[in-house]
Structure formats: structure tokens, C-alpha cells
Chain A
Amino acid sequence: RKEVEQDPGPFNVPEGATVAFNCTYSNSASQSFFWYRQDCRKEPKLLMSVYSSGNEDGRFTAQLNRASQYISLLIRDSKLSDSATYLCVVNPYSGGGADGLTFGKGTHLIIQP
């Protein structure tokens, strides 16, 4: 089983719609979770961290379900500028040393006018 799995998409969504995607992770001891955004041929940038209680930042809502080992990202009132690849990222660090963040392969989102 891959460590971090995402549906690669593409998700083709009309402007103004709500879209959600999930990501599953295999390491139950993972400590922290993030969504990064990557535009075509650009570097990844942090979109939001994902806390156990769930968190919201404007049109974006992230949730963590530790029991089922998945995180989700919900985008409301989608904009053309939301078109990008969204990377699910997990920090497996458990005190034994830094092994690096584990990145999913990304979900490609296309917002259509």
C-alpha cells in the first residue's frame, strides 16, 4: 500500500461549484498533515495545515480523520484561479529522526468557466 494516496483526477468542475477530494495515508503514527498547492511548472506552496479539529480558511476547509486515516479538502465557490494540482502531505516523524515529508502524487483540479 502506498504511503499517501490521492485520486490523480483530473477533476473538471464548473466555476462556482463546490469540490472535495480525499487523501489516505498508511502510517498511523503520522504527526502532522498539510495540503500544498502546485501550479503548472512551479514550486509547491503551502495551502493549509490540517488539524484534528478541522480548520477553515476562507473558501477552503480541511479535515482529518485519524481513525480512518484520511484527510480531505473542500473548496467552495470555486474560482478559475483554483485550477492547480493539490498535494496531500504527511509528516511521518515520530521522534526517531527526520525522514522527510511524504507527498501524495497530487490531484489535478481544472475549474471551467
Chain B
Amino acid sequence: IAGITQAPTSQILAAGRRMTLRCTQDMRHNAMYWYRQDLGLGLRLIHYSNTAGTTGKGEVPDGYSVSRANTDDFPLTLASAVPSQTSVYFCASSPRGLAGGWDEQFFGPGTRLTVL
């Protein structure tokens, strides 16, 4: 692996189902993030993690949960999917986190999720 990967690439999901989006980075970055991108709304932060073992809520956390058991993985779980969660989901990582100021964020290729 080089960089940051996400799985699945795309998914169609029935409302009410549970779904976990996977994100893995091999850059040993401290911080990781989940965003959703919707037409007309731009990228919005769902949850973040400054370091393994810690997580925080972003702008739109409701209906989503995350965990950060180790440095490399940052899965995003939808406990009971709803149609409004139809979106493109991007995972990102950065070496030091936002406290690093000029820290660049590297994005994964995204997961396109449709909830019917």
C-alpha cells in the first residue's frame, strides 16, 4: 500500500442496515479524518482522530461512529443507515494533526455510498 486506501469503492445499502467504511494509511500519520462531500455543500468533517486511541466529533457526527485502535486504521460506522447519508465519503490523514498548523491532509480515493 502506498498512501491512504478506502474500501469499498462504492456501495448501495438498504436503509436501516449497518455499514462500516474502511480506511487505512501506511504513512504513520498521527491524525485521521472522515469527511462527507455532497453537491452544493462541499466537504464536511464527520469525525477526526488526533492520535491512536482518541477521537473527536466534527461538524456532522450524528449517525456515525469511529474508532482508532491503532495508527493505521480509522473505520467509520453507520449504525442504521438512512437515505440522507447518501454521499461520497473521504478519509484523510495528516502527519501531525491540525495543531500542526500547516499540516497537509492526504485524502483517500473516496467511497460512494447510496442508501435506498
Q: A residues near B, CB below 8 A? A: 31-32, 34, 42-46, 49, 87, 91, 93, 95, 97-101, 103-106
Contacts and interface: CB of A to CB of B under 8 A. Distances in A.
Given A31-B101, A46-B104, A106-B42, A100 B33 contact: yes
Contacts of B78: none
B109 interface: yes
B30 to A, nearest CB: 11
A87 B43 contact: yes
A77 B53 CA distance: 47
Contact of B101 (A87, A93, A103, A104): A93
- Interface size, B (range): 20 to 34
A99 B45 contact: yes
Contacts of A101: 45, 98, 105
B74 interface: no
Interface of B: 31, 33, 35, 40-45, 48, 50, 56, 58-59, 90, 97-99, 101-102, 104-105, 107-110
A100 B49 CA distance: 10
B102 A32 contact: yes
A44 B90 contact: yes
B42 A43 contact: no
B41 A100 contact: no
B99 A100 contact: no
Contacts of A87: 42-43
Nearest to A45: B107
Contacts of B58: 99-100
A93 B107 contact: no
5 contacts: A31-B101, A32-B101, A42-B109, A43-B90, A91-B98
A19 to B, nearest CB: 21
